[in-house]
């Protein structure tokens, strides 16, 4: 689990001696509380994964609560290690994922849906997906993953906010735009953690 003095290293985590395990290793509170969505995208996540719930180690499951401010966007991203199932608890979300291509003449296809409370949507592993709050009221969703740590890779952050930066010639050619546009976008990501600054912090209000 999380004990560096244990004798086994399993699935990326130290495996705790069973004699030292307590009920707290299988417990995580806080998913009833909204996350702090005071960031540029207006989305917050409260995680119940192996980093916050050690008992999940080797079990292949995790969960999170997502809070969306009005018109907030959970920007296009991937979960590289898990498929995701999302249930809307409150509000209205426009969600979707984009397929990979299977041939030279194939185009990426968007699968999207408007979700209301009680609606469920699945995002296949590794595919780019997003959620957008289409209302002027808050929204809440609960997610489940088939991994103890699904990973979270925002496409824009990865391309324009990496350290060191990707050469602007490469990005300019990839997006077929002038390098000045690339330089401008990269400058916006000098404030590292655009979404994640408060991603797993409870709302103190």
> Binding site for oxalate: residue ranges?
74, 84
Question: Within a 10 A sphere around the Cβ of 114, how many other Cβ atoms?
Answer: 13
Can you read off the two tokens belonging to residue 185? 């976008």
- 154, 156, 157, 163: CA torsion to nearest 10: 130
Q: Rounded distance, CA 109 to CA 124, Å?
A: 13
Can you read off the two tokens belonging to residue 156? 């824009």
Binding site for Mn(2+), by residue number, is 77, 84, 129
Q: Are 78 and 116 in contact (CB under 8 A)?
A: no
Q: Where are the beta strands (DSSP E) in 8-133?
A: 8-10, 13-15, 43-48, 62-68, 73-78, 84-90, 93-98, 110-115, 120-123, 128-133
11: left (phi over 0), alpha (psi -120 to 50) or beta: left
Q: Rounded distance, CA 155 to CA 150, Å?
A: 15
Q: Are 85 and 144 in contact (CB under 8 A)?
A: yes
Binding site, by residue number, is 74, 77, 84, 129
């Amino acid at each position: 689990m999380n004990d560096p003095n244990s004798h086994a290293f399993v699935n990326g985590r130290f495996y705790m001696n069973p004699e030292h395990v307590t009920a707290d290793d299988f417990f995580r509170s806080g998913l009833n509380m909204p996350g702090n969505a005071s960031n540029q995208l207006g989305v917050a996540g409260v995680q119940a994964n192996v980093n916050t719930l050690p008992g999940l180690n080797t079990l292949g499951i995790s969960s999170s609560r997502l809070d969306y401010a009005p018109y907030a966007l959970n920007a296009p991203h991937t979960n590289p290690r898990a498929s995701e199932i999302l249930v809307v608890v409150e509000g209205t979300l426009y969600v979707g994922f984009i397929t990979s291509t299977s041939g030279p003449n194939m185009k990426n296809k968007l699968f999207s849906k408007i979700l209301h409370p009680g609606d469920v949507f699945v995002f296949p592993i590794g595919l780019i997906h997003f959620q957008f709050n289409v209302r002027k009221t808050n929204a809440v969703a609960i997610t489940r993953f088939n991994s103890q740590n699904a990973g979270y890779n925002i496409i824009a952050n990865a391309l324009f906010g990496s350290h060191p930066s990707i050469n602007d010639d490469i990005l300019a050619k990839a997006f077929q735009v002038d390098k000045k546009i690339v330089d401008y976008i990269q400058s916006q990501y000098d404030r590292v953690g655009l979404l994640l600054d408060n991603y797993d912090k409870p709302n103190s209000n």
